[in-house]
Amino acid sequence: MSPDTHHQSFNPALTQSRAPHVAIVGATGAVGVELLNCLESRDFPVASLKLLASPRSAGQKFSFRGQELVVEALDENSFNGVDLALFSAGSGVSKQYAPIAVKAGAVVVDNSSAFRMDPSVPLVVPEVNAGQIEGHAGIIANPNCVAIIATVPLQALHRRYSIRRIIASSYQAASGAGAAAMEELRASTAAWLEGKAYEPKVMRHPYAFNLFSHDSAVDPATGYNGEETKVVMEMRRILDAPELPVNITCIRVPVLRAHAISLTVEFAEPVTPEAARALLEGAPGVRVVDDVENNHFPMPNEATGQGDVLAGRIRRDISDASGKSLSLFVAGDQLLKGAALNAVQIAERIFRA
């Protein structure tokens, strides 16, 4: 098939068997770079690859499988001949260009918040609800990073014991706010160690050796910020539990790229830590790190660069005498499983060699 061919329609339930022509939108951002790396490291079949970004980023060069690729400026003709478009350039870009990509014949996997709560768009974590992919009409949404990292281990427990309530606190890395926030963490830390003043430019608050509430707007009616609201709504969709009570506090911490989450979960019936640990040890996408003797549990530095979500600190919730509640601690690489890797895993379900 010629890269210049326009596709007018496709069967959304069809699993493709040929190597697709691929485009990455937002290729120069932190997630875009990880998308490129994931395609290469996972040997994803690629007939051709376009790197797309804003005009100011056009001309940058990246290596892919030994070839040099030049970033092109995104426009309405960018998707001619593209079969798979991986978007990671913000909700505004996705709302404008994802429909154009679909009209050109591409399947879009979108990493922004643009379509996550659209009931016609599947919101997918492959280890949890891969079956939703078959119902897509051209666009598949990649969930919020916290929702992904939490639901991978939670699904194994939910399937067996049925979750009735979740109380969580997230400890979110700089990568969730993009490459500029990661650089600000590096620069402000270096300045702090040298005793120099540093004026925050990306974050609202000093980042080095500090933590603060997630920097999304707070809804005065509920008291919850936008990140917290997104996590609640998306976890309900992913777990197929629309009325599930979920409460979360989202905190930004001075970590470069792996999120951690404290979870206290109430189930429909009593569950022991031993039973939960056994389920998690057999769960796809989960690696149990639960060494009580050495006080070794999930940590961001060990989750960084890993595709699995680390899960540990599995224990009874001693505030619940019924025995139906457990607490655990998880960590996952925000740029990988929380973003790029999850998107590529979705694509792998559609385009199989």
C-alpha to C-alpha distance for 112 and 89, rounded to whole angstroms: 7
Greatest alpha-carbon pair distance for the chain in Å reads 65
pLDDT at 12: 37
Cα–Cα nearest to 303, from 345, 280, 335: 335
Q: In this model, does residue 333 exceed pLDDT 50? A: yes
Residues that are catalytic: 145, 259
Q: In this model, does residue 5 exceed pLDDT 80? A: no
Distances (CA, A) of 109 to 170, 183, 214, 338, 343: 25, 27, 26, 14, 6
In residues, how long is the chain?
353
pLDDT at 16: 53
What average pLDDT does the structure give for the chain? 93
Q: In this model, does residue 141 exceed pLDDT 90? A: yes
Global pTM reads: 0.92
